[in-house]
């Protein structure tokens, strides 16, 4: 356990003050240590934040008063069921039934990088996870956020999620359509730890899978996703307002607006970048400026997608 650990190095924004306590349990004892921390935390009623790769958060300059539980060492994927097993084991509940058309299931621990999960599927010529290629962050973070890209949400391929629940028990939460929506998962209202997620996949052509993954990675690079530290899109982009949020912001001439070290990217109306030395205060001020301008000019209330930690 580390005390006063600066969180800037644990976020894709490279921003954030120190956490009182920071713990990253090693993989071989992950569940035991994580369960212990959750139990202690509940008994002592102290603040806890579960951290994946910090690619969707803005941490305050004052840091976090409480414990950060970093799950990024809890990695690995397995093929949980193949057609034969599936027929026997899952035939009754329909998980692998003819309706779903899914013949294989891949199970990934929550600290696995989303990109690595996609690579694992490719190694086994299984298709369905291609859209996760190049997506920053962990599987746990992607499930919690119900990450969405290239017209697909994580929930589109999910079959179940294993969690440590509020009482510290391992529980399998089967996928239910009504629990998920745009950037919404049932775990956002619960005090739980995601241990792993299982995905429905099919046998595919390795060459085609890898080509598709490469297209997504290149697309992200060409859109400047990795040119500067950021947390991806700042505002939700559910197109409720008829066009992409980035476009709405761009049309108000806001691209390139800068406060301190935080700048609204010159090439993307929904990306705030850290040009070097940006504080959380700079980013927050820029977010407020953008929200105010959009509200004033268009009467639209933008909703941040990134999460605010320690504010």
Q: What are phi and psi of 278, to 5 degrees?
A: -65, 145
Considering beta carbons, is residue 193 or 283 the nearer one to ligand FAD? 193
Q: How far is CA 284 from the centre of its chain?
A: 20
Asked if 53 is part of the footprint of ligand FAD (rule: CB under 6 A), the reply reads: yes
Which of 5, 7, 8, 12 binds ligand FAD (CB under 6 A)? It is: 12
Q: What are phi and psi of 40, to 5 degrees?
A: -60, -45
Minimum distance, C-beta of residue 97 to ligand FAD, in the bound complex (Å)? 29
Q: What are phi and psi of 27, to 5 degrees?
A: -60, -40
Considering beta carbons, is residue 99 or 189 the nearer one to ligand FAD? 189
Rounded Cα gap, residues 85 and 49, in angstroms: 38
Asked if 56 is part of the footprint of ligand FAD (rule: CB under 6 A), the reply reads: yes
Asked if 25 is part of the footprint of ligand FAD (rule: CB under 6 A), the reply reads: no
Cβ atoms of residues 259 and 212 within 8 Å: no
Considering beta carbons, is residue 22 or 49 the nearer one to ligand FAD? 49
Considering beta carbons, is residue 195 or 201 the nearer one to ligand FAD? 195
Q: What are phi and psi of 156, to 5 degrees?
A: -65, -25
* Residues 6+ positions from 32 with CB-CB distance below 8 Å: none
Which of 118, 121, 126, 147 binds ligand FAD (CB under 6 A)? It is: 147
Q: Does residue 233 have an active-site annotation?
A: yes
Rounded Cα gap, residues 100 and 286, in angstroms: 45
Asked if 138 is part of the footprint of ligand FAD (rule: CB under 6 A), the reply reads: yes
Binding pattern for the stretch 192-231 against ligand FAD, x by CB under 6 A and - elsewhere: -xx------------------------------x----xx
Which of 17, 52, 128, 186 binds ligand FAD (CB under 6 A)? It is: 52
The catalytically annotated residue of 153, 196, 233, 279 is: 233
| Distance set, CA 120 to CA 117, 214, 228 (Å) | 5, 14, 27
Asked if 55 is part of the footprint of ligand FAD (rule: CB under 6 A), the reply reads: yes
Residues in region 66-125 near ligand FAD by CB under 6 A: 71, 110
Asked if 144 is part of the footprint of ligand FAD (rule: CB under 6 A), the reply reads: yes
- Per CB under 6 A, residues contacting ligand FAD are 12, 49-57, 71, 110, 135-138, 140-142, 144-145, 147-149, 193-194, 225, 230-232, 307
Q: Which residues are part of the catalytic machinery?
A: 233, 305
């Amino acid at each position: 356990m580390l005390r006063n650990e600066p969180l800037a190095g644990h976020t894709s924004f490279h921003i954030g003050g120190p956490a009182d306590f920071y713990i990253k349990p090693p993989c071989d004892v992950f569940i035991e240590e994580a369960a212990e921390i959750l139990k202690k935390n509940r008994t002592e009623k102290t603040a806890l934040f579960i951290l994946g790769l910090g690619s969707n958060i803005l941490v305050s300059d004052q840091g976090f008063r409480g414990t950060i539980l970093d799950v990024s060492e809890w990695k690995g994927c397995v093929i949980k069921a193949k057609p034969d097993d599936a027929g026997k084991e899952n035939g009754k509940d329909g998980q692998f039934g003819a309706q779903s058309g899914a013949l294989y299931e891949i199970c990934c621990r929550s600290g696995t990088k989303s990109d690595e999960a996609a690579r694992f599927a490719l190694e086994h010529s299984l298709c369905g996870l291609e859209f996760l290629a190049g997506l920053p962050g962990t599987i746990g973070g992607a499930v919690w956020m119900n990450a969405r890209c290239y017209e697909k949400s994580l929930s589109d391929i999910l079959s179940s999620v294993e969690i440590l629940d509020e009482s510290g028990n391992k529980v399998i939460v089967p996928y239910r359509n009504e629990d998920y929506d745009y950037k919404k998962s049932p775990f956002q209202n619960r005090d739980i730890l995601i241990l792993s997620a299982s995905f429905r996949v099919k046998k595919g052509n390795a060459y085609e899978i890898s080509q598709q993954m490469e297209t997504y990675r290149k697309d992200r690079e060409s859109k400047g996703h990795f040119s500067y530290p950021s947390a991806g899109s700042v505002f939700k982009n559910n197109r409720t307002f008829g066009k992409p949020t980035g476009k709405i912001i761009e049309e108000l001439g806001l691209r390139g607006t800068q406060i301190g070290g935080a700048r609204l990217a010159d090439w993307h109306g929904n990306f705030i970048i850290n040009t070097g030395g940006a504080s959380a205060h700079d980013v927050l001020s820029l977010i407020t400026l953008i929200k105010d301008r959009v509200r004033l000019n268009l009467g639209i209330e933008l909703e941040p997608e990134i999460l605010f930690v320690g504010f």
